[in-house]
Amino acid sequence: MAYNNCFRGRTLAVINDFSLDERLFLFEKARELKRLLTTGETALPDSFRLSDRDLGVYEVFLEDSTRTKESFRNAAEFHRVKLSELDTGHSSINKKESYADTFNNLIGYDNSIFIVRSKLEGVCRWLESAGSEYAKRNGLQRAPSFINAGDGKHEHPTQELLDEFTFLEDNGWNRTKLHIALVGDLFHGRTVHSKVDGLTVFEHVSVDLVAPRELAMPADCISRMKENGFTLREFDSIDSYVSGGDVAAKWYFTRPQLERMGEDILKRQDELRACITFKRKYLSAVPEGTFFYHPLPRHKEHPTIPAFLDSTPLNHWERQSANGRIVRIILLGLIGGSLGDTFRGSPPEQPDFSDDFIEEIELSGNGSGKEYAEGVKPISKGIVIDHILRGEQEKEIRDHLPQIIKVLKLYGKGGEWVSDSRDNPGIHKGIIFRPGHPPLDERDIKKLAAIAPGCTINVIDQKRVVKKVRLKIPPRIYGFNEISCKNKNCISHPDHFEGVPAEFYRIRGDRFICKYCETMYCFKEIWT
């Protein structure tokens, strides 16, 4: 049986872009390479190297970096590929050139793997489609890959890979359980946000979140950790954590991300930092055999892991950092196509967008002949949108009706109101009557499903309902000018003029996430 190399040409925008099986394969390869590099028993097999001077790897760092940038540079040199770096301080991005235009030019110079760090979130997800379109338009052999080297406070998937590799190494490659404390700026820190899905590499996960309220893990991340089956506890400082007992033997520190904090939090940085800085007095409270990790950098004046701990057995952050090069060598090898032929596991789950959310209801014996009256006068021709936000609070429905009218341009004659359900008194629903309005076209029906899922559309002719359609909640919302992500740091936010069309995927119930920055919204919140 022939197997394709499923890693070749992939983009890694978030940790979940690689399935659990794929990550375990990567770790297995990294472990093999590390053994060969450290023992020197055998000559390093060439099979690990891409050894292709025509394969262009480009580093584009729009934010400062030492470890990520330099470990990728060292990894690319290991592979003997063509390595370039965009001088972002003097590039035309500073003349307001869009990301898509900038990267498309670099793709046109026969570069295929881009390592991208940015303040804006979701950049790699956007470039994946923009770059692929460019490659198609220009008849390029190979679609480009984008590796997220950290995007705002969203994710840092390659840091997550090296963190998981190090945790597994320290756990003797046992994946059964992990009890870890995440300590520090859990609000702005992207490395801990990647842990929400990354830690699923372990079967039973207990996470102690240690951060003052202002730097606490965002609610979306906490919900997702719970969905992933993690056991969670929250503490507002190291003091309160160690005084409670049952302290984890693995601590993962993150620095206060000063560059991403607002003015109000910055003013209180000393007080907040004190809550998450390890002190000598805590040493007696940590269990025997505890390991400390840190993605680094440490602040030289105010390190949350003070330098006196460098020479103690707690120090696992130095080996963690060195593992970054090994893991990134393997990652480049997989995406470049030299490794991966022997992978036999499962790929990541693809979202299912096939859900049929527009259902035409049979009229015979079920509403056929029903009259809708506006006041006392029956509507002879037009549309009635019924069951809007059925079951929600009266005020919620009342506030949402003008939004629906505006988005669907349902101006003109008619009325709209909130009423009690006839069958279930006390259950409210919204109704929009539009006498004389022509039936909605397919695009407007899809829009209505996205802004008022659960409603029914009644088409009326000669005072009778002649067509009735029920709209369920769609699996994704896209293709409408009236939607936008409200996260100002998202690449798709209209303020950035990047021309990125907003798109949202349904994750559960009435909740959707932005395709790019993964900010979570109720369907009502995405309309402009």
Q: With binding defined as CB under 6 A, does residue 460 bind ligand CP?
A: no
CA 242 to chain centre: 32
Rounded CA separation 103/99 (Å): 6
CB of 118 to ligand CP, least distance (A): 13
Among 11, 16, 68, 200, binds ligand CP (CB under 6 A): 68
Among 5, 51, 65, 171, binds ligand CP (CB under 6 A): 65
Complex with ligand CP: residue 151 or 214, whichever CB lies closer:
151
203-242 footprint of ligand CP as x/- string (CB under 6 A): ----------------------------------------
Complex with ligand CP: residue 286 or 305, whichever CB lies closer:
305
CB of 74 to ligand CP, least distance (A): 13
Complex with ligand CP: residue 34 or 67, whichever CB lies closer:
67
Return the structure tokens found at 455: 């409603």
Q: Are the CB atoms for 385 and 448 separated by under 8 Å? A: yes
Sequence-distant (6+) residues with CB within 8 A of 506 are 473, 474, 475, 476, 477, 512
Q: With binding defined as CB under 6 A, does residue 319 bind ligand CP?
A: no
Q: Are the CB atoms for 296 and 10 separated by under 8 Å? A: no
Residues in 144-183 that interact with ligand CP by CB under 6 A: 150, 159
C-alpha radius of gyration, the chain, whole number: 27
Q: Judged by CB under 6 A, which stretch of 65-73, 209-217, 245-253, 276-284 contacts ligand CP?
A: 65-73
CB of 183 to ligand CP, least distance (A): 16
CB of 315 to ligand CP, least distance (A): 16
Element (H, E) at 210: strand 204-210
Report the 3 state secondary structure along 237-304. CHHHHHHCCCCCCEEEEECCCHHHCCHHHHHCHHHHHHHCCCCHHHHHHCCCCCEEECCCCCCCCCCC
- Number of residues counted as binding ligand CP (CB under 6 A): 10
Complex with ligand CP: residue 150 or 382, whichever CB lies closer:
150
Q: Residue 504, CB half-sphere, CA atoms under 13 Å: how many?
A: 30
Rounded CA separation 407/470 (Å): 19
Q: Residue 343, CB half-sphere, CA atoms under 13 Å: how many?
A: 27
How many helices and strands in the chain, by DSSP H and E?
A: 13, 21
Q: Judged by CB under 6 A, which stretch of 40-48, 60-68, 282-290, 517-525 contacts ligand CP?
A: 60-68
131-150 footprint of ligand CP as x/- string (CB under 6 A): -------------------x
Report which DSSP code applies to 46. Answer: G
Q: With binding defined as CB under 6 A, does residue 74 bind ligand CP?
A: no
CB of 396 to ligand CP, least distance (A): 42
CB of 67 to ligand CP, least distance (A): 4
Bridge partners (DSSP) of residue 150 are: none
Among 29, 67, 250, 255, binds ligand CP (CB under 6 A): 67
> Which residue matches tokens 């992978």?
343
378: closest CA among 491, 472, 463?
463
CB of 482 to ligand CP, least distance (A): 37
Residues in 468-497 that interact with ligand CP by CB under 6 A: none
Sequence-distant (6+) residues with CB within 8 A of 366 are 468
Rounded CA separation 192/209 (Å): 10
Q: Are the CB atoms for 155 and 221 separated by under 8 Å? A: no
CB of 191 to ligand CP, least distance (A): 7
Residues in 277-316 that interact with ligand CP by CB under 6 A: 295-297
CB of 324 to ligand CP, least distance (A): 8
CA distances from 270 to 106, 303, 306 (A): 43, 12, 15
CB of 83 to ligand CP, least distance (A): 17
Complex with ligand CP: residue 156 or 437, whichever CB lies closer:
156
Among 44, 45, 47, 66, binds ligand CP (CB under 6 A): 66
Instruction: Name the residues that contact ligand CP, by CB under 6 A.
Output: 65-69, 150, 159, 295-297
